[in-house]
């Protein structure tokens, strides 16, 4: 009897140990792809038509995602970090190796509900000179326009109302609030979110440009609810898709003829991109 008791005790003890402390891990690999109308992007091909009826082509796309998190079924979030232990990833259609995010990081094996990330940088993360090396440093956003970095450069051309092929730079980043005399009866006002920039304090703007009174951080969060599994000692392959045409139609129609070639100083144009942005992305299981 005493022998049986001891054996049973060890049997239970070993079962408990196996059930509670043997956690298993796996990895994830994101493969980024850019699509237009569900087809893989063909750069420099004037073959697309957006929702506004603009025929257009895309030459290159360069963009940042930050604060990337895997969301487990129980709601726990696991942050995805790069080799510098920062959750910052630069993606560039001209740099094939940037189209895969595989950090070798271990995540608990199990069921996941989806992925979240910040498109661009939140205010705290968007600090000038955080990148000194190219290609990330080439994404700097001019200090007078708010500093930090472009969230995205999407460059291409469209056929304008005159039938001419005209370049467009659909660039998203920090927006500006400009001094508007009509709104203030000539009095200077502050939007309450102004980030003063001492270097430019003595600046007198050119005639076409009223003074900048404040900045608007245009980043947004993307939540992609798509279940996936991370298997023990396995790499779970995920596809992160950018549906380019959605930048121009998901919620509001964006018309190149209305906004012209450059929008870094047109907050109203960038605002359309921000409203459409959360619907631009899709997560799929990898092949």
Partner 1 sequence: MKLTYKFVQGILLGFLLFLVACSDKTEIVDPPPAYTPTPYELEIPYAFPTKLNIPGDNPLTVEGVELGRYLFYDGRLSGRTHPDSLMSCSSCHIQENNFEPGVDHPVFEGGFVHGLSGQQTHHVVLPLVNLVWNSSGYGWNGSFYNNNENPNQRQIEDIVTLSVIAPDEMYGDTSRVKALFQSLDGYPELFYKAFGSDQITFKNMARAIAQFVRTLVSADAKIDRYLRGEEQLTQSELNGFILFTTEEGADCFHCHGGFGNPLFTTHLFYNNGKDTIFDDPLDRFAVTGDPMHKGAYKAPTLRNISLSGPYMHDGRFATLDEVIDFYSHDVKWSDQVDPLMHHVLRGGVQLTPSEKADVKAFITTLHDEKFLNNPAYSRPEKFPDQN
Indicate whether 225 belongs to the interface with partner 1 (CB under 8 A). Answer: no
Residue (69 or 217) nearer to partner 1, CB = 217
Residue (91 or 230) nearer to partner 1, CB = 91
Distance, first Cα to last Cα, the chain: 57
Indicate whether 268 belongs to the interface with partner 1 (CB under 8 A). Answer: no
Indicate whether 128 belongs to the interface with partner 1 (CB under 8 A). Answer: yes
Q: Give the C-alpha distances (Å, rounded to integers) separating 170 from 90, 145, 152, 201, 269.
A: 17, 15, 8, 28, 9
Q: With CB under 8 A as the rule, give the number of residues binding partner 1.
A: 46
Nearest to 156 by CA among 31, 42, 232: 42
Residue (188 or 208) nearer to partner 1, CB = 208
Check if the beta carbon of residue 249 is closer than 8 Å to that of residue 153.
no
Q: Give the C-alpha distances (Å, rounded to integers) separating 260 from 216, 224, 227, 281.
A: 21, 31, 40, 25
Indicate whether 265 belongs to the interface with partner 1 (CB under 8 A). Answer: yes
Shortest CB 130 distance to partner 1, Å: 9
Nearest to 256 by CA among 63, 46, 42: 46
Can you tell me the distance from the alpha carbon of 273 to that of 280, in angstroms, rounded to the nearest whole number?
A: 10
75-83, 84-92, 109-117, 130-138 -> range binding partner 1 (CB under 8 A): 130-138
Shortest CB 176 distance to partner 1, Å: 10
Indicate whether 138 belongs to the interface with partner 1 (CB under 8 A). Answer: yes
Per-residue H/E/C for 173-203? CCEEEECCHHHHCCCCCCCCCCCCCHHHCCC
Q: Which of 165, 194, 229, 232 binds partner 1 (CB under 8 A)?
A: 165
Shortest CB 139 distance to partner 1, Å: 8
Q: Which of 119, 149, 228, 281 binds partner 1 (CB under 8 A)?
A: 149
Shortest CB 19 distance to partner 1, Å: 49
Q: What share of the chain is helix, strand, coil (3-state, %, to 5)?
A: 20, 40, 40
Q: Residue numbers of the site for partner 1 (CB under 8 A)?
A: 44, 59-60, 128-129, 131-134, 137-145, 147, 149, 155-157, 160, 164-169, 199-200, 202-209, 260-265
């Amino acid at each position: 009897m005493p022998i049986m008791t001891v054996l049973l005790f060890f049997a239970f003890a070993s079962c408990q140990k196996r059930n509670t402390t043997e956690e298993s891990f796996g990895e994830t690999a994101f493969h980024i792809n850019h699509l237009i109308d569900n087809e893989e992007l063909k750069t420099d091909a004037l073959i697309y038509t957006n929702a506004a009826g603009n025929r257009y082509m895309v030459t290159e796309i360069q963009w940042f995602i930050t604060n990337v998190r895997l969301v487990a079924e129980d709601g726990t979030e696991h942050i995805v970090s790069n080799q510098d232990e920062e959750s910052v990833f630069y993606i560039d259609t001209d740099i094939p190796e940037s189209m895969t995010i595989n950090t070798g990081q271990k995540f608990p094996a199990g069921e996941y509900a989806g992925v979240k990330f910040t498109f661009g940088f939140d205010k705290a993360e968007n600090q000038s000179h955080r990148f000194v090396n190219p290609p990330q440093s080439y994404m700097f956003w001019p200090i007078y326009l708010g500093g930090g970095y472009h969230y995205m450069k999407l460059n291409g051309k469209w056929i304008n109302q005159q039938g001419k092929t005209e370049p467009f730079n659909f660039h998203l980043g920090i927006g500006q609030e400009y001094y508007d005399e009509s709104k203030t009866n000539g009095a200077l006002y502050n939007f309450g979110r102004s980030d003063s920039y001492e270097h430019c304090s003595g600046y007198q703007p050119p005639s076409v440009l009223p003074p900048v009174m404040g900045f608007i951080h245009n980043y947004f969060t993307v939540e992609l609810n798509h279940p996936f599994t991370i298997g023990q000692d396995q790499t779970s392959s995920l596809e992160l898709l950018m549906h380019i045409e959605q930048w121009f139609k998901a919620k509001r129609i964006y018309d190149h003829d209305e906004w012209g070639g450059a929008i870094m100083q047109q907050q109203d144009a960038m605002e359309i991109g921000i409203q459409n942005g959360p619907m631009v992305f899709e997560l799929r299981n990898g092949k």
